[in-house]
Amino acid sequence: MSSYRFFEEYEHEVTDQLKENYSQILSSIGEDINREGVVKTPERAAKAMQFLTSGNCMDPNEILRSAMFAEGYNDMVIIKDIELYSLCEHHMLPFFGKAHIAYIPNGHIVGLSKIPRVVDVFARRLQVQERLTHDILECINNTLKPLGVAVVIEASHMCMMMRGVQKQNSVTTTSGFRGQFEKIETRNEFLKLISSDLS
Ligand SMILES: Nc1nc2c(ncn2[C@@H]2O[C@H](COP(=O)(O)OP(=O)(O)OP(=O)(O)O)[C@@H](O)[C@H]2O)c(=O)[nH]1
Ligand SMILES: [Zn+2]
């Protein structure tokens, strides 16, 4: 199996195992697993869970390497408002929000779509927001080797909304900066541009 593959196929063995597990979950919560509305739910849920964790078997470094181009541009490149959906590893409930990513090229630029693809690969795993932020940061830093890279993620966690502390409006912000973004002026320029409608 190529490590750089888009999600196309469900692994039959894994689907069967998950179906069995989801049937047991339905029974455990008191559902009649033969009821029309839920009779196919174990299979649907099995496929959904495989999709939501499909980043586990993808190589984000290879995604970046597949579209790196030699280019002399060495100013800031910002891709902001990249929507992301992930699952928290503590409750397996979604957290979702936006990633804002910037890098300063060092001889190579990367195909723009590859940055959101890298976000998806790391988001489609059981995660915590802090690790997701650093995974993206280190991947871009180590593979593209830019002069600097910055990642900011703003997200809401369903485990804090639907249950537990039940706070509907809290947003968690995490960030990471490498290279030139460790300098306060560069970091501030990035933060200003992602909070502006003109960036
Ligand atoms: N740091 C961090 N914590 C997270 C993330 N997602 C969920 N959590 C937290 O993980 C913690 C798990 O705490 P526990 O006390 O073991 O679990 P719990 O009893 O379900 O906690 P409550 O959510 O407070 O009811 C909770 O405080 C969650 O809010 C994340 O991405 N980053
Ligand atoms: Zn959680």
User: Are residue 26 and residue 96 in the same domain, yes or no?
Assistant: no
Residue 134 appears among annotated catalytic residues = no
Q: What is the predicted pLDDT for the residue at 199?
A: 44
Structural domain contains residue 1: no
- Catalogue the E-assigned strands of the chain: 68-70, 77-88, 94-104, 108-110, 126-127, 148-157, 172-179
Same domain, 39 and 105: no
My answer on whether 16 and 72 are in the same domain is no
For ligand 1, is residue 160 a contact (CB within 6 Å)?
Answer: yes
Looking at the fold, whether 47 and 63 belong to one and the same domain comes out as: no
> Whole-model pTM?
0.93
pLDDT, residue 10, reads 86
CATH number at residue 43: 1.10.286.10
44 C-beta neighbours (distance < 10 Å), count: 12
Answer yes or no: do 45 and 84 share one domain.
no
Domain residues for the domain of 183 are 59-195
The pLDDT profile of the chain, 199 residues, written as one tens digit per residue, is: 344 445 667 889 999 999 999 999 999 999 999 999 999 999 999 999 999 999 999 999 999 999 999 999 999 999 999 999 999 999 999 999 999 999 999 999 999 999 999 999 999 999 999 999 999 999 999 999 999 999 999 999 999 999 999 999 999 999 999 999 999 999 999 999 999 876 4
66 shares its domain with 139? yes
**138 and 68 within one domain:** yes
Count of domains observed in the chain: 2
> Which residue's alpha carbon is nearest to atom 3 within ligand 1?
128
Q: Is residue 5 part of a domain?
A: no
Same domain, residue pair 106 and 159 = yes
Catalytic residue among 24, 71, 90, 130: 90
User: ipTM of this predicted complex?
Assistant: 0.92
User: What is the per-residue pLDDT for 3?
Assistant: 44
Whether residue 110 contacts residue 68, with contact meaning beta carbons closer than 8 Å, is answered with: yes
